Chains A and B, each alone.
Chain A
């Protein structure tokens, strides 16, 4: 069979694996839903959580589609479709593909037609390099969760602070990330302010949403405050980028 990066057989293989991933998501969704009802959680509440999660996902998922398009220029559609539906992210897959291509004397972004050997090599590098989480979670998850439950039983207040501290630690790293190019302003280039301004708009929208929930009892806004602030922040990036570039 003659090889092509967009060969129908590659779509079939990717499709089968992606179907299995969807099956896993559906399995855990049904399992958690049943458990929620069993412990007395309101069906409407569970529905609301699902709808909000779905709405919130749309914009980041479209960004992932853009990543698929970016990688498809070198790798064809099936491999990026698979890699970004399962495990991967644009930055990781780009680095893995670039390293694999460089190792074979190719340049990422300038590949016209991969051979089957090159394709298999790139797919192997991508697969092997990012496998850690998938096998390590089954190995350590139970032990870690048991440890957290023991902590909860020993000192509930500290357990609550512990989980809040983890979230704050993660968020603070991303706040730092937003300021990563901030130092450009010391050299007269204001473009490093773009992510900072976008974050400020998103934060402002979230504050306004919070006020509307508190003052005017518009609770539906609270449910969609994060997706709204996300979209508003992204939309603001268009004029802010024009202004500061």
Chain B
């Protein structure tokens, strides 16, 4: 086994151990509260709450898993699906880091860079949230100040404006069709609103892959 395979095998092995352990730990929170306070869940409420929430999020979770793994790399995927905030933080951080380092995600260097960027981002996020929780009383009036709220409400447009320039300028040929499609869908189809972006990401990915494959086969991407 060469060193790359050896490294990847150990990423898969430890990724499995960590993620499955985290799954158990996450379940321990409600179970511990149940045992400590002697309060079983409201089974009827639990069932209704799960029926209203779980099917949609399970479906989105499955689609997100298959969509994001090729973009995040192995180590980055194990970490991102535990630490969350993938599309609004972990994926942009990884993309920016790989772009900055001039490496591709499906290379050995890309795997390393993506994992480092996501790990650092996760640690920094956790530390900032801890600071926020500790200082919640003095921070609440500042962070909830009406003057600042538009800035935090527009974080996604501010993020994808910069990121879009970098990636679209480098891949403009394959970007035209999906951008037109997505603009048309979001502007002219009332049923597709901002809350549906999680579902539209895989739609955009599959459509772009199809268009790119067609253009590649027709020799339009040489």
Q: Which 9 A-B pairs have the closest CB atoms?
A: A233-B158, A202-B161, A132-B61, A176-B182, A229-B162, A65-B132, A169-B205, A116-B39, A103-B48
Known pairs A21-B82, A60-B125, A138-B12. 11 more at Cβ < 8 A?
A: A17-B28, A25-B83, A29-B116, A32-B112, A46-B112, A77-B133, A87-B81, A120-B40, A123-B30, A166-B70, A170-B205
Cβ 8 A contact of A127, one of B29, B70, B82, B166? B29
Contact yes or no, A199 B160, CB < 8 A: yes
Q: Which residues of A have CB within 8 Å of B34?
A: 116, 120
Q: How many interface residues does B have (CB within 8 Å)? A: 159
B172 to chain A, nearest CB (A): 9
Q: Which residues of A have CB within 8 Å of B20?
A: 135, 138
Interface residues in A87-107 (C-beta closer than 8 Å to B): 87-89, 91-92, 95-96, 99-100, 102-104
If the complex has contacts A69-B144, A136-B65, are A233 and B126 also in contact, measured as CB distance less than 8 A?
A: no
Residue-wise, chain B 131-164 has the 8 Å CB interface mask toward A (1 for contact) of: 1110010011001100110111111111111111
Q: Provide a sorted-by-A list of 27 A–B residue pairs whose CB atoms are within 8 angstroms.
A: A16-B25, A17-B26, A28-B14, A33-B116, A62-B128, A66-B152, A72-B136, A84-B129, A100-B46, A103-B47, A103-B52, A117-B39, A120-B33, A124-B46, A127-B26, A138-B12, A159-B106, A161-B174, A167-B171, A172-B182, A173-B182, A174-B160, A176-B186, A180-B192, A194-B154, A237-B151, A237-B154
Q: Which residues of B have CB within 8 Å of A46?
A: 112, 116
Task: Provide the bound-state CA to CA distance between A116 and B37, in Å.
Answer: 7
Contact yes or no, B205 A24, CB < 8 A: no
Q: Which residues of B have CB within 8 Å of A240?
A: 150
Q: Which residues of B have CB within 8 Å of A129?
A: 50, 53-54, 57-58
Interface status of A190 (Cβ within 8 A of chain B):
no
Contact yes or no, B69 A141, CB < 8 A: yes
Residue-wise, chain B 98-140 has the 8 Å CB interface mask toward A (1 for contact) of: 0011001110110111011111111111101111110010011
If the complex has contacts A116-B39, A170-B205, are A41 and B112 also in contact, measured as CB distance less than 8 A?
A: yes
Q: Which residues of A have CB within 8 Å of B64?
A: 133
Q: Which residues of A have CB within 8 Å of B71?
A: 163, 166-167, 170
Task: Provide the bound-state CA to CA distance between A125 and B212, in Å.
Answer: 40
Contact yes or no, A24 B18, CB < 8 A: yes
Residue-wise, chain A 31-63 has the 8 Å CB interface mask toward B (1 for contact) of: 111011011010001101110111011111111
Contact yes or no, B161 A233, CB < 8 A: yes
Residue-wise, chain B 174-214 has the 8 Å CB interface mask toward A (1 for contact) of: 11001101110111101011110100110111111101110
Task: Provide the bound-state CA to CA distance between A133 and B64, in Å.
Answer: 8
Interface residues in A156-191 (C-beta closer than 8 Å to B): 157-183
**From B46, B171, B203, residue with most partner A Cβ within 10 Å:** B46
Q: Which residues of A have CB within 8 Å of B200?
A: 173, 176-177
Interface status of A235 (Cβ within 8 A of chain B):
yes
If the complex has contacts A24-B82, A166-B67, are A132 and B57 also in contact, measured as CB distance less than 8 A?
A: yes
Cβ 8 A contact of A56, one of B93, B168, B195? B93
Contact yes or no, B42 A167, CB < 8 A: no
Contact yes or no, B25 A17, CB < 8 A: yes
Contact yes or no, A125 B53, CB < 8 A: yes
B183 to chain A, nearest CB (A): 5
Task: Provide the bound-state CA to CA distance between A28 and B96, in Å.
Answer: 19
Cβ 8 A contact of A22, one of B16, B93, B123? B123
Q: Which residues of A have CB within 8 Å of B133?
A: 65, 68, 77, 81
Contact yes or no, B158 A89, CB < 8 A: no
Interface status of A113 (Cβ within 8 A of chain B):
no
Contact yes or no, B70 A168, CB < 8 A: no
A137 to chain B, nearest CB (A): 5
Interface status of B23 (Cβ within 8 A of chain A):
yes
If the complex has contacts A1-B36, A128-B50, A180-B193, are A26 and B123 also in contact, measured as CB distance less than 8 A?
A: yes
Contact yes or no, A85 B126, CB < 8 A: yes
Contact yes or no, A172 B78, CB < 8 A: no
If the complex has contacts A57-B125, A124-B30, are A202 and B158 also in contact, measured as CB distance less than 8 A?
A: yes
Task: Provide the bound-state CA to CA distance between A81 and B160, in Å.
Answer: 26
